[in-house]
Amino acid sequence: MTEMQSSSALPLLKLQGITKSFPGVKALKGVSLELMRGEIHALLGENGAGKSTIIKIIGGIQRQDEGEMVLDGETCHFTSYRDAIARGIGIVFQEFSLVPDLDAVDNIFLGRESRNALGLSRRAAMARQAAGLFERIGVQIDLSVPVGRLSVAEQQFVEIAKALSLDVRILILDEPTAPLTPNEAALLFRVMRQLRVEGIGIIFVSHHLEEIFEICDRITILRDGANVGLTPVASCTMDHLVEMMVGRRIENSFPPKADTAERSVLLTARHLRSRSDAAMSDFDLHAGEILGFAGLVGSGRTETALALIGALPCPGKNVTMHGRDVTLSDPAAALKAGIGLLPENRKTEGLILPFSIRDNISINNLAQYTRRTGLIDRRKEREKTATLMRALQVKAPDDETATVTLSGGNQQKVVIARWLNRRCPILIFDEPTRGIDVGAKAEIYRLMRDLTGEGYAIIMISSELPEIVGMCDRVAVFYRGAISTILEGDALNAEEIMRHATSSGTKPVGPGYAPHHPIGPGAPLHA
């Protein structure tokens, strides 16, 4: 293993026979894991495989039912995260634990501020120590601004610096690259390599398998709460890794595209503007097609979709559906017209997580279950919910299951079920596979193709270029806030998308638009 001590050395952390049960489900079934000093160890598995439970047990947030955890050769029993921190374990969760109105210094030392004999804060000393932590990992952070004004990557480095300030020997990174651009991810990997040289053991969780081969030394794979593999990265292939994770081969994640040549125009949008300084965008959406919105972050993809449904102001827009003018003044009007949105952040914008699956599916559709007396027909509601759960293959004990307990892929299916329940013929999917595993991605892709086969029209916004090329029938490429061109057929390929997404010579699509002369490829789509 690269820059690691020999395999005969004592493991820094060893889990053996860890089991954990929750009401109705056995989350872990005798799981084992070893982490060496100076190792970056990937923990992989589909959503629901048990990764989060393992992380919480290592961090003292949950207690195992059976099994042993050994740290530096000594059996340990943590009763809280504070116990784990005291033993040198730090976790950077997907949802940061930062106070946005405080700066990096205050966040790093929150609750354990350095004070002088009079009890006054030694602010200068803490600032020097914070600067030293960032210098140690080779990143520059403005210590004078609230962390809420920092980029996501910078906030993540504040979390890492906070862990290092506690003298961690084990650092757990849970989906750290999910919100990062490629350049930011590369910087994070450089920091991880530096920490590996210092002898810190890192447990790395990611759904981006290519990252595993770039940064990790060994891989532990979980499936359905049990170990299914332990392998050095050097002796593993992508296909074998996927097969171990999902229990089957996935020959091609993207289902075949349908012939959309004869499809009728379902929606026409003209004069959409994502912001006041951007050009206007025009496009048509056909029944039974997936129209991709592609471009760099900040190019106006999501903003244009939100302007379409009235979630952002867009004076002067003209929208027709089935050849008739419609007024989409706000999301409620768009929903009434038959447009449903699966938002980018399903947890904060798409779902009410403490609510049950049934409540989340029904919340916009209660009128269809309401009797003349004004009471809800619960039997009819449950029957419809059960039908949708079967059709979308939502994996849960029953419809009363709290949505917060579901995997990311199943949460996405619940949002989709809500709009199918509403019978929305147009669906906007904003980053539909972000944060879900490779097996669940294939299920979402299949579901999207099944929907278009039934005549639904889908706008798919994605930062993943292979996903855009593999799933979309046509692609609207955005540049500086507006659609620069719409690609289809042989022109729908990665090179052409990148040329239009990065070309300063691009002109917006609209009346009188003529294709520009393409230039060479530029930065990645989500750079």
Q: What is the pLDDT of residues 201-214, one digit of tens each?
A: 999 998 788 899 99
Q: Report strand pairing: 426-430 vs 339-342.
A: parallel
**pLDDT band (50, 70, 90) for residue 334:** very high
**81 compared with 365, residue with greater pLDDT:** 81
For residue 435, pLDDT over 80 is answered with no
SS3 of the chain: helix, strand, coil, percent, to 5: 35, 25, 40
- Residue whose token pair is 């160890």: 41
pLDDT band at 515 (very low <50, low <70, confident <90, very high): very low
Q: Read off the pTM.
A: 0.64
Q: What's the pLDDT score for residue 6?
A: 43
DSSP string of 343-386, one letter each residue: -S-IIIII--TTSBHHHHHHTT-GGGGB-TTS-B-HHHHHHHHH
Kindly report, residue by residue over 467-504, the tens digit of the pLDDT.
899 999 999 999 888 999 999 988 998 888 888 887 64
Model confidence at 406, in pLDDT bands (50, 70, 90)?
A: confident
**Which of 21-30, 94-103, 505-514 is predicted with the least confidence, judged by mean pLDDT?**
505-514
Tokens 């003349």, residue?
A: 372
- Diameter of the chain by CA atoms? 80
Whether the CB-CB separation of 479 and 503 falls below 8 Å is answered with yes
Model pLDDT, residue 317 = 94
Total count of residues recorded for the chain: 527
Per-residue pLDDT band at 101 (split at 50, 70, 90)? very high
Antiparallel, parallel or unpaired: β 281-286 and 265-272: antiparallel
Q: What are phi and psi of 259, to 5 degrees?
A: -80, 115
Q: What is the mean pLDDT of residues 307-331?
A: 93
Q: What is the mean pLDDT of the chain?
A: 86
Going along the chain from its start, the domains and CATH numbers come out as: 13-246 (3.40.50.300), 265-338+425-527 (3.40.50.300), 346-424 (no CATH)
What does the pLDDT read at residue 248? 61
Q: Quote the percentage of the chain above a pLDDT of 70.
A: 92
